[in-house]
Chain A
Amino acid sequence: MENRTAQIQNITYDDGIVKKFMLATIVWAGVAFTVGLLIALQLAYWKFNFNLEWLTFGRLRPLHTNAAIFAFAGNAIFAGIYHSTQRLCKTRLFSDALSNIHFWGWQLIIVAAAITLPLGLSQAKEYAELEWPIDIMITLVWVVFAVNFFGTLARRREKHLYVALWFYIATIITVALLHIVNSIEIPVAFMQSYPVWAGIQDALVQWWYGHNAVAFFLTTPFLGLMYYYVPKVVNRPVYSYRLSIIHFWALIFIYIWAGPHHLLYTSLPDWAQNLGMVFSIMLWAPSWGGMINGLLTLRGVWHLVRTEPIVKFFVGALTFYGMVTFEGPLLSIKSISSVGHYTDWIIGHVHSGTLGWNGFLIFGIFYYLVPKLWKTELYSKKLANQHFWIGLTGVLFYYISMVTAGITQGLMWRAIDPKGQLVYPDFIETVTRIIPLYWVRALGGSLYIVGYILFVYNIVKTIKSAPASQSDTVVEYAAPAKSEQITSPEQGHRKLEGMATVFSILAFIAVLVGSLIEIYPTLSLQKYLNPEQMTEPYTALQLAGRDIYTKEGCYLCHSQMIRQLPDDVLRYGPASTIEESMYDHPFQWGSKRTGPDLARVGKKYPNLWHFRHMLNPRDITPNSIMPNYYWLAENNTDFFILRKKVSVMKMLGVPYNDNMLANADRLAEDEAKIIAEDLEKQGAPKGLERKEIVALIAYLQSLGQKAKVAAPVAPQK
């Protein structure tokens, strides 16, 4: 124990990169919200797509979700992490060059997404729609971020890692794992690929990813930010540091298992469904532990809620976090899922999470950071207060309207009269009933945007009032004499926390355990398949049609998974089997029924019905809200690429024979001719055989027709 006198060092923090990420957050938030409002309006009144293919719901919905998650929340996370990590580690970020590559690389990814998604270049897996070249870019930029972050940790002057940093570490590691596993795909063309996973495998991997995108992109980093900024703003330590540690480990351990709650009553094996349900329900406890820890940090300073808009936003965010994490486990209970799944209830649920929890936390942090970093005062507290109230009203309108719409529609779908018949056999009846609520939702979204505009105005005014010469924050750091450093009684413990590597490995193991146990059994899909019900692969033309289906984002309004529920079976036919989707790369089970399930739509209607319906759904169903797809009758199918597609499918295990491999394009043309002739005979225009619509019709007519035995699964009870 030497007793040196304290040494003074100057540390210059990199504030520039934090400011850049903050400005990017503000800009992309506008895009995410506006696109969201546009597609919300399209469900209320279909003409809001202006009859342009790039603006249809199926193309723009992925843009909305990607912009909200990766652009709005993503940039905000990076800003907060880079700001707080420097201060918690008492060091500048590891490398200015890496920081900038991270920033510009991420913006490039977002711009690429904003261009490719409206063009229909999509992998058709929710929140993972971006095609393989962009997937590779994401991986590279994420590695840059990781190196920069861990490099900073390695250089820190503080011995210990504050709990916020734990959450950041778990985020970086787990997001990398999720992204890589879910995006394993084989390219077919420059912007097209097929995932290696198929059917239930793909479903399980996708929802393991999807659910944990919520967990490790929209929850853990935000909890880390909460543990730093809430104490900081109210100037008191977190209520219980012990609780934060228990919160951390329990949360990351449990979250990773919860994915299958998106697949209840589907053909996913029961054990996986139960696993997902049990862990989802348990998730309630650590989530509330975190919320309580955050809220009780305000003990003794509750009066700030009345006066400080920042504290209002924080309390609002934590309250929404509590609500959402209560509702989530509830929705994971099988009987509640049977009503809520596929309906707008889920849409309401996720928006109270993103708008209420993530959005409000971000606004609160930004109202705190902008004046600090630009070395000035917030332009108007009053405006910030108004932002809070208008935003809150917006989220509540949104949430209440969607939960009402979801429960209403869910109950209508399942209503069965005493004779055992559906009370509302016409699907469209259940749609028109909730249209008024779609308008209320659009109003809620608009209010939230009004609040956002006030926010932008306030921030711009604040920055304008800042002194012209801006410099990075410099702090004097008095390196404490060794004997004054925080020491714990146990050396073992200090080692654990002192070593970010060991800690990261432990966190990695915690998420790996659940992932492996859950996904491993389905890797050998074979054992779940009934050899007597094997499915025939798609013909080449059907495959071409399927790619149009995924390109147009039909899966965002239509499911292809008839659940093992009496009302599902009555409405759509025998429950879907594992075999039926065994060759589906990617699976198209869907998560929302804005339109009816299509798993057994094949042969239900004549070809001409589909032709007319696709060109103008209102020709057939007057009140339909499905977009017109007139360009499908104008664009040509790419027959030439089919041989490549078939060979990639073969590589992935789909049993195509040599004739198919060699002549896929010709076989498809022959099949197209037959359909085109039939259409012509029924009165459709001539010369359709090369058009995309014919391929799409071939695909639609094959749905539910491929399994050798359409196994009648007895409805439960």
Chain B
Amino acid sequence: MKEGLKYFTDTHLTSIGLLLFFTFFVGIVFWVFRKGSKNYYNQSAQMPLEDDL
């Protein structure tokens, strides 16, 4: 562990950031396309239109 950390420099922060983001992003994409969500999203999208006030 300590050995490994020795090679860590601030330069690696960019790669860590990118890695975090891509994991997060792929997760969300899978999440919104999960089975059976379509109906639910269609209904949510109607929320602003329910009244005319």
Find the A residue at minimum CB distance from B14: A275
How far, in Å, is B24 (CB) from chain A's closest CB? 6
- Report whether B46 and A237 are in contact in the complex, using a CB–CB cutoff of 8 Å: yes
Q: Is A521 an interface residue (CB 8 A)?
A: yes
- Report whether B44 and A160 are in contact in the complex, using a CB–CB cutoff of 8 Å: yes
One of A123-131, A241-249, A547-555 contacting the partner: A241-249
Name the residue among A88, A227, A237, A250 with the largest chain B CB count within 10 angstroms: A237
- Report whether A158 and B33 are in contact in the complex, using a CB–CB cutoff of 8 Å: no
How far, in Å, is A372 (CB) from chain B's closest CB? 8
- Report whether A242 and B32 are in contact in the complex, using a CB–CB cutoff of 8 Å: yes
Give the residues from 2 to 49 in chain B that come closer than 8 angstroms, CB to CB, to chain A. Answer: 9-11, 13-14, 16-18, 20-21, 24-25, 28-29, 32-37, 40-49
Q: In the complex, what distance in Å separates the CA atom of A228 from the CA atom of B34?
A: 25
- Report whether A486 and B17 are in contact in the complex, using a CB–CB cutoff of 8 Å: no
Contact with B along A272-310 (1 / 0, CB 8 A): 101100110010000000000000000000000000000
| B contact residues around A513 at 8 Å (CB) | 20
Q: In the complex, what distance in Å separates the CA atom of A228 from the CA atom of B51?
A: 12
Given A241-B42, A242-B32, A87–B51 Cβ distance below 8 Å?
yes
Given A162-B44, A490-B36, A521–B13 Cβ distance below 8 Å?
yes
How far, in Å, is A177 (CB) from chain B's closest CB? 18
- Report whether A241 and B44 are in contact in the complex, using a CB–CB cutoff of 8 Å: yes
Q: In the complex, what distance in Å separates the CA atom of A245 from the CA atom of B40?
A: 13
Given A249-B24, A269-B10, A271-B13, A486–B40 Cβ distance below 8 Å?
yes
Q: Is B1 an interface residue (CB 8 A)?
A: no
B contact residues, range? 20 to 34
- Report whether B47 and A162 are in contact in the complex, using a CB–CB cutoff of 8 Å: yes
- Classify the secondary structure of B's interface with A: helix
Q: Is A367 an interface residue (CB 8 A)?
A: no
Q: Is A611 an interface residue (CB 8 A)?
A: no
Partner of B48, one of A162, A372, A473, A475: A162
| A contact residues around B43 at 8 Å (CB) | 486
Find the A residue at minimum CB distance from B46: A237
| B contact residues around A238 at 8 Å (CB) | 45
Find the A residue at minimum CB distance from B35: A489
Q: Is A695 an interface residue (CB 8 A)?
A: no
Find the B residue at minimum CB distance from A522: B10
Q: Is A13 an interface residue (CB 8 A)?
A: yes
Q: Is A231 an interface residue (CB 8 A)?
A: yes
Q: In the complex, what distance in Å separates the CA atom of A290 from the CA atom of B46?
A: 18
Find the A residue at minimum CB distance from B21: A253
Q: Is A556 an interface residue (CB 8 A)?
A: no
Partner of A514, one of B9, B17, B32, B46: B17
| A contact residues around B25 at 8 Å (CB) | 246, 249-250, 253
Q: In the complex, what distance in Å separates the CA atom of A253 from the CA atom of B42?
A: 25
- Report whether B17 and A245 are in contact in the complex, using a CB–CB cutoff of 8 Å: no
Q: In the complex, what distance in Å separates the CA atom of A490 from the CA atom of B38?
A: 12
| B contact residues around A84 at 8 Å (CB) | 48
- Report whether B49 and A278 are in contact in the complex, using a CB–CB cutoff of 8 Å: no
- Report whether A88 and B48 are in contact in the complex, using a CB–CB cutoff of 8 Å: yes
Q: Is A106 an interface residue (CB 8 A)?
A: no
Task: Sample 27 A-B pairs with CB under 8 A, ordered by A number.
Answer: A84-B48, A88-B48, A160-B47, A162-B44, A228-B48, A231-B48, A236-B49, A237-B46, A237-B48, A241-B45, A242-B37, A242-B41, A271-B10, A271-B13, A278-B14, A282-B21, A372-B53, A475-B51, A486-B40, A488-B37, A489-B36, A489-B37, A489-B40, A517-B16, A517-B17, A518-B13, A521-B13
